[in-house]
Amino acid sequence: MRLDVERIIRLLPRGKVFPDEPLSRHTSFGVGGRCSALVLPSNVDEIVSLVQYLTEEEAPFIVIGKGTNLLVSDRGYEGVVIKLADNLSLVEQNGELLFAQSGASLSKLVEFAIEHSLSGLEKLAGIPGTVGGAVWMNAGAYGAFFGDRVASVEVVSFSGERLTIDNPRFSYRAGFEGKEKLIITGVYLELTPGDKTVLSSVASDILEKRRKNQPLDMRSAGCVFKNPPGDSAGRIIDWLGLKGKRVGGAQVSPVHANFIVNTGNATASDIYDLINLVRNKVFEKTQIALSLEVVTVGRF
């Protein structure tokens, strides 16, 4: 693909463009090859201009947030990566309604809600990533799901139209119905009044549980597999004795069996091969086909 980087720079006077950028710098696993260009738009108008141009040129592109749920191939991604994190990070309150732009940090949004005595997000404390990523994945923890609180989602379609989707229907770790070919730019959340001290203590307890049960000192992308109906992927992997299993620099975390960690020098292929090894062993012993929660980018 021949990409006119100068044209992109002209289309985004306030944004930033990094040609040939290593994606390992933008993923929590710390692995992944280069993309043709990484683009950081500074506002929604710039997203519109950019996608109109990329769609017209038939140039491949993807959107990422903080890359905390991504496994990018060592060969990288031949196309444009639009990163919405830190840029587009406005968070506003209007009574029990919160508006957050998709690049806002989910943790900051959770803190903001607690600070304003609003309940509904406190159990999501400690999930890394952006608001856009949380919408796309329907991020959840301890029985709470981001999608449960979403009243509407603001998006830009791949043809550059700005749309609002009211009352979107979310499902487990799959975002909302009809999300394909849409870039999430913001979200309205309906929360309920709560006691700040209580909400704060729920969030602290959850952060403490995460510190105990998750390998937070190692690079990972959180849980690798979705839980199969009525069971936990981590429980099955642990039961099969796979904790600590390694391929190259990738390891099934000895702390949490559904986490694969980069012990320092893992490649994306090491992680991918270990994922397949675990998946095959689980299928062999239980006939359960685990599906990936982590999103893969590029060719493996």
Report d(CA 177, CA 162) in Å as an integer. Answer: 17
Q: What sign does the CA torsion over 264, 269, 275, 277 have?
A: negative
Which member of 34, 66, 245, 279 binds ligand FAD (CB under 6 A)?
Answer: 66
- What angle do helix axes 106-115 and 196-213 make, rounded to 10 degrees? 150
Which member of 62, 97, 174, 292 binds ligand FAD (CB under 6 A)?
Answer: 62
Stretch that binds ligand FAD, among 50-58, 113-121, 134-142, 196-204 (CB under 6 A): 134-142
Site for ligand FAD, residues 86 to 125, rule: CB under 6 A: 102
Report d(CA 39, CA 84) in Å as an integer. Answer: 9
Minimum distance, C-beta of residue 214 to ligand FAD, in the bound complex (Å): 6
Alpha-carbon distances of 132 from 24, 47, 61, 90, 285, rounded to whole Å = 20, 14, 16, 12, 37
Instruction: Say if CB 245 and CB 48 are below 8 A apart.
Output: no
63 is a contact residue toward ligand FAD (CB under 6 A)? yes
50 is a contact residue toward ligand FAD (CB under 6 A)? no
141 is a contact residue toward ligand FAD (CB under 6 A)? yes
Site for ligand FAD, residues 226 to 265, rule: CB under 6 A: none
If residue 36 lies in a helix (H) or strand (E), which one and from where to where? strand 35-40
168 is a contact residue toward ligand FAD (CB under 6 A)? no
Stretch that binds ligand FAD, among 126-134, 233-241, 246-254, 275-283 (CB under 6 A): 126-134
Stretch that binds ligand FAD, among 67-75, 89-97, 192-200, 283-291 (CB under 6 A): 67-75
Report d(CA 27, CA 267) in Å as an integer. Answer: 12
Query: What does DSSP assign to residue 258?
Result: T
Site for ligand FAD, residues 5 to 24, rule: CB under 6 A: none
Q: What sign does the CA torsion over 192, 195, 200, 203 have?
A: negative
Instruction: Say if CB 263 and CB 253 are below 8 A apart.
Output: no
110 vs 118 by CB, closer to ligand FAD = 110
203 is a contact residue toward ligand FAD (CB under 6 A)? no
Minimum distance, C-beta of residue 172 to ligand FAD, in the bound complex (Å): 10
Question: Count of CB atoms within 10 A of residue 16's CB?
Answer: 13
Which member of 33, 41, 140, 147 binds ligand FAD (CB under 6 A)?
Answer: 140
Residues that bind ligand FAD (CB under 6 A): 28, 62-70, 84, 102, 127-130, 132-134, 136-137, 139-141, 183-184, 214, 216, 220-222, 295
